[in-house]
């Protein structure tokens, strides 16, 4: 699966991916609150064995305000949202995956290539904001993020492209919709893939 070149402002260089390297707690805070008309699509790749319980994306802050994809003890992708948790039918591997998270008919869904891999009755939590591009809790390996999109009410509101700022080599995600550059909101730092 290749990476499509996108025309970014001259101050930024597109790269294949940003990667939360070993034992870093880097992540992107989208600032987007979860609602029942939001769709979140992310293209990512796990690049090694990640300890059970490590979160790949989403948020976990307080009771009934969580939304995250994480790794189960038997190395399956697992999803948790205030409704409870459950395994997807997808094993953790080193392949690239594109997962889509959304609500429909009173359920939260996670799909891959149009096929539901998780679904459960749920109500959105108005306090949970989506984090992505990170593996938290000092994971033993890492996760690469190739792109992320957010669609609200059928309208594309964020289109994140991995890149770095040329002036200081700062890695992050450039949003083609808002024109904003999002950098690490956690500790440590991202590493980047090859220039595109």
pLDDT at 62: 52
Q: How many CA atoms lie within 13 A of 1 on its CB side?
A: 11
Q: Does 143 have pLDDT greater than 90? A: no
Q: What are the structural domains, with CATH classification, of the chain?
A: 12-192 (2.60.120.200)
Which residue has better confidence, 79 or 149? 149
pLDDT above 70: percentage of residues in the chain:
75
Environment class of 153 (CB within 10 Å of its CB; exposed 0-12, middle 13-18, buried 19+): exposed
Q: What is the mean pLDDT of the chain?
A: 81
pLDDT at 110: 85
């Amino acid at each position: 699966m290749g990476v499509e070149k996108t025309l970014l402002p001259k101050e930024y260089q597109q790269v294949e991916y940003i990667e939360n390297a070993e034992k870093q707690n880097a992540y992107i805070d989208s600032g987007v609150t979860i609602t029942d008309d939001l769709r979140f699509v992310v293209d990512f790749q796990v690049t090694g064995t990640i300890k059970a319980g490590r979160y790949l994306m989403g948020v976990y802050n307080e009771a009934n305000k969580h939304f995250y994809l994480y790794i189960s003890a038997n190395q399956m992708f697992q999803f948790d949202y205030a409704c409870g948790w459950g395994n997807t039918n997808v094993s953790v591997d080193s392949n690239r995956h594109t997962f889509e998270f959304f609500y429909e008919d009173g359920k939260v869904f996670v799909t891959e290539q149009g096929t539901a891999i998780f679904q459960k009755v749920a109500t959105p939590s108005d306090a949970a904001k989506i984090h992505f591009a990170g593996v938290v809790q000092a994971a033993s390996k890492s996760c690469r993020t190739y792109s992320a999109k957010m669609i609200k009410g059928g309208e594309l509101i964020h289109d994140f492209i991995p890149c770095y700022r040329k002036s200081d080599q700062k890695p992050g995600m450039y949003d083609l919709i808002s024109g904003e550059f999002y950098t690490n909101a956690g500790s440590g730092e991202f590493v980047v893939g090859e220039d595109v």
